[in-house]
Amino acid sequence: MTALFATVEMTILVLFTAILAGPILGERFRVPGLLALIFLGMLFGPFGLGWLGRVDLVFDLGAIGILYLMFLAGLGFNLKAFSAGRASALGFGVLSFVFPFALSVVVGLSWIEVGILGAAMLGSMWASNTLVAYPDVRAAGLEQTRAVRDAMSGGVVADMLSLLVLAVATTYAVVETLDPDNADLGTVPTLPLYLSIPLLVVFTMWALPKIGRWFFVRVGHSRMQRLLFLLAGMAAGATLAVVGGIAGIIGAFLAGIGLNRLVPNDSELMNRVDFVGTSVFVPAFLVAIGLRIDPMALLDPKTILMGFAFMVIVIIGKGVAVFAATLFFKYSAAERGLIGSLSIGQAASTLAVGQIGLELGLFEQSVVNASILTIVLAALLTSFGTQHFIRKMPAVPQELDAIGGRVLVDVSSDESQMPAMVRLAGRIAAGDDGVEIPFAVARREDKVAARQRLEAAEDLAEAAGYDSSTLLRLSDSFADGTIELADESDATMLVLGWHGPRLGVDQFFGSELDAIGAASTVPTVAAHLTGPWDRVIVVPGADYAPWQGDDVALTMDVAARLVVRSSGPLPLLVIASDQAGAAEHFGPKVKFEFVQANKPGDHLLEIVKPTDLVVAPAYLLSNLPVYRRVRLSVALAEQNLAIVAAPGRFAVLGARPRPMERFLGQHA
C-alpha cells in the first residue's frame, strides 16, 4: 500500500481530492477555504496520514501556485481606483506598513532573535494584509465608500512596500546564507540589486506591455494563445527576478501589473486566467504549505505564545495606523472601525513570505506554524469586526458604472460598417479596461446569418487586440431585443449602427433607434461610419440646462476615447464658443486643438473631411425644422458621425432650439 501512495497517480488523486474538498469544508465550518486546504495538507502529508507520497510533485505545483497567486493580484489590480484616492491611499498605506513593520522588527530582534534579515522578513509578513472580509462589504454595497477604497488601496501600498523589503532581504539572505556551489537555479543572483530592480521594472512595466499589445494584435487572435502568452509573461517576470536575486513572486506580481490593461477584469480571457490558477495551482500552494507543518507542533507552548504575539503586533500596528491616518483624513468612527477590521486580515501573502524565510534559513518552522495560528485568529477578528462596523456605516448611493465597462455594439445592421463599429466600441471600452460585446438581434429564420456576423465581429475585435464576447437575441423586434440584452448583460453603453440622418419629420434616427434611445437605461451612441477616421471633431454645443451639461460631458468623454490608438493619439478638434469649458471637460492629459465659433455648424461644414469623425450630443439634433434637417442630412450623408446621448435622452422632445441654431448656423 505504501508503494501505491508513492506513485504520481495516487498523489494527484489525493491532491485533487483535497483541492475539491477544501472550499467545501471551509464553507461548511465557516472558516476561510485557504485554512481548510492547509489543514488537508497537514492531514494527508508526511506528518499525518502520509497519502501524498510524492511531496516533491506537490511542492513544484505549489511553487507555480504562489507565482500564479501574485500574478493574479497584479492582473486584477484596479489602477484607476488607486489613482482616484491616491492621497489617502498612499498615506494610510505607508502608515499601515510602518507601524506593524517596526513592531515586528523589534520583536524579531529582541525576542525571537532571528537576526536583522529575519526581522525584516518578519516585518514584511505582518505589515502586509489581505482583505479576507472584502466579500462582506461587497455584499453590503459598501465597496465604493471611502473607507473600503482606502483599505483596499492602502493595503496594496503596504503590500508593495512589504514586497520591496522582501526583495532586498531575500537578495542579501541568498548571498550571505547559501553555498553557491550547491544552490538551486536562480538562488544566486547574477546581477547586483541596483541593476536587477531597474531592469525588472523596465521589462515588466514597459517592454512586456508593448510586446503583449503587439502579440494580441499581430499574432495571438485566439484566447488560448493569449492565455499562454500571459503565462509566459508571468514566467519571464519571475525568471528575470530570480536572475537578479529577487523573489520570483515579485517578478510575477509586476508582470501582472504590466499586463493589467490588456486583460479587462470582466473579460472571458480574465475568466480563463483566473480559472486555471484558482482551480489547481493556487490551491496546490496552500496544500504544500500544510505538508510542511507538523500538527503536533501547533500545540507547542512556544508556537502558541508566538502566534498570540504576532496577533498583538497586527492589531496594535494596524490600529495605530488607522488612528494616525484619522488625524490627516478625518475618518468617522464607523470608517475607522471598518478600515481597521479590514486591515488586520492576513492570508496567503503572509504564508508566502514565511515560507520563503523558512527556505532561506532565516526562520524556524515554529515561526511558520505560529503564523498559521495568527491567520486563523486574524480571519475570525476581521470577519466579526467587519460585520459589526458594516451595520454602523451609513448607506451610500450607488455610483454609475464607467461607460466603458461593458460596451454592447450592434452588428445586426450594415456589414460594411462592422470593422469601424468594432473599432469604435473597442476604443470606448479600452478607456476603462472594459469589454466590448458584439450583439445581434435577429428573427429565428436569420439565426445562422446572425451567428456568422457575430463570429466575424469577434474575429475583428481580437485582431484589433481587444477581448470580446458575443450575444445573440432571437426577437421580432430589434428595439425590444436590444433593450432586453442591455438589461440582462449589465451593459454600461450601447453602440448602435445608424444609416445616417433621416429626412422624415417624426424620427431623426429612425423609429427603432429612437425607441431604443428613449427606453435605454445606459448611455447610447448612434454611429454612422463610412470608413476609417484620422481626426475626431467634437461639436459639444452649449449647456443651457443641467441635463444638457451631463450630455456634453458624456460626449467629450467619448471623443477623448476615440482618439486613442497604440501608435499615438489622433488629432482632436473642438469647435465651440468656450475653450475653458472644453479644457475643463478633457483635463490636462488630453491634447486638443480649439476653434472658437459662435456658429459651430457653419465652421464644421466648411472644414469637415470624409476621413473625419464628427461627435456631437443628441440634444443638438432634436426637433429640427424640416428645412434644417434636409440641409444637415444632405451635407453629412457620407460623413462619419457619432451621436451621443445619456440614458433615456436619445430623442429629446421640447428641447430648446438655440443650441441647434448654433450647431448649424443660419442655413435658411
For residue 180, pLDDT beyond 60: no
Instruction: For residue range 294-312, list pLDDT tens digits in order.
Output: 777 778 888 889 989 999 9
H helices then E strands: how many in the chain?
28, 10
Question: Minimal CA–CA distance to 619: which of 582, 586, 583, 657?
Answer: 657
Least confident of 176-180, 181-185, 265-269: 181-185
Q: What is the DSSP string of 33-99?
A: HHHHHHHHHHHHSTTTT-----HHHHHHHHHHHHHHHHHHHHHT--HHHHHHTHHHHHHHHHHHHHH
Hey, what CATH topology would domain 401-426+436-491 get? Rossmann fold (3.40.50)
Residues of the chain with CATH 3.40.50.620: 401-426+436-491
Distance CA 396, CA 61 (A): 43
Percentage of the chain exceeding pLDDT 70: 83
pTM of the model: 0.71
Q: How many CB atoms lie within 10 A of CB 310?
A: 28
pLDDT value of residue 624? 54
Least confident of 125-129, 357-361, 536-540: 357-361
Confidence of residue 395 (pLDDT cuts 50, 70, 90): low
For residue 467, pLDDT beyond 70: yes
Give 164's contacts (C-beta < 8 A, 6+ positions apart).
none
Angle at 78 between CA 315 and CA 397, to 5 degrees: 80
Confidence of residue 202 (pLDDT cuts 50, 70, 90): very high
**Who has greater pLDDT, 663 or 405?**
405
Confidence of residue 70 (pLDDT cuts 50, 70, 90): confident
Q: Pseudo-torsion of CA 367, 32, 387, 149, nearest 10°?
A: 80
**Cell numbers found for residue 581:** 469649458
User: What's the average model confidence in pLDDT over 363-367?
Assistant: 83
Distance CA 563, CA 536 (A): 7
User: How many Å separate Cα 222 from the centre of its chain?
Assistant: 21
Task: State the sign of the Cα–Cα–Cα–Cα dihedral 117, 121, 123, 124.
Answer: positive
Instruction: For residue range 424-437, list pLDDT tens digits in order.
Output: 988 898 888 888 89
For residue 449, pLDDT beyond 60: yes
Element (H, E) at 29: helix 8-29
* Count of residues making up the chain: 668
Give 539's contacts (C-beta < 8 A, 6+ positions apart).
575, 576, 600, 601, 604, 614, 615, 616, 620, 663
Given a contact cutoff of 8 angstroms between Cβ atoms, the answer to whether 254 and 240 are in contact is no
Indicate the pairing of strand 535-538 with strand 612-617.
parallel
pLDDT value of residue 289? 78
If you search the block for the grid coordinates 515579485, which residue do you land on?
250
Question: Minimal CA–CA distance to 97: which of 170, 29, 15, 164?
Answer: 164
For residue 43, pLDDT beyond 60: yes
Range 327-359 burial, b when 16+ CB lie within 10 A, else e: eebebeebbbbbbbbbbbbbbbbbbbbbbbbbe
Given a contact cutoff of 8 angstroms between Cβ atoms, the answer to whether 493 and 404 are in contact is yes
Given a contact cutoff of 8 angstroms between Cβ atoms, the answer to whether 345 and 382 are in contact is yes
Q: Which CATH number is associated with domain 2-390?
A: 1.20.1530.20
Distance CA 559, CA 604 (A): 16
Given a contact cutoff of 8 angstroms between Cβ atoms, the answer to whether 310 and 370 are in contact is yes
* C-alpha atoms less than 13 angstroms from C-alpha of 229 in its C-beta half-sphere: 24
User: How many Å separate Cα 290 from the centre of its chain?
Assistant: 31
For residue 207, pLDDT beyond 90: yes
Least confident of 110-114, 183-187, 341-345, 523-527: 183-187
Neighbour-count burial of 569, counting CB atoms closer than 10 A to its CB (0-12 exposed, 13-18 middle, 19+ buried): middle
Indicate the pairing of strand 593-596 with strand 535-538.
unpaired
In the sheet that 406-410 helps form, which strands lie side by side, from edge to edge? 471-474, 435-442, 406-410, 493-497, 524-528, 640-645, 612-617, 535-538, 572-576, 593-596
Instruction: For residue range 155-169, list pLDDT tens digits in order.
Output: 778 877 887 787 777
Least confident of 265-279, 344-358, 460-474, 504-518: 504-518
Give 531's contacts (C-beta < 8 A, 6+ positions apart).
420, 610, 611, 640
Greatest CA separation for the chain: 96
For residue 656, pLDDT beyond 60: no
Residues of the chain with CATH 1.20.1530.20: 2-390
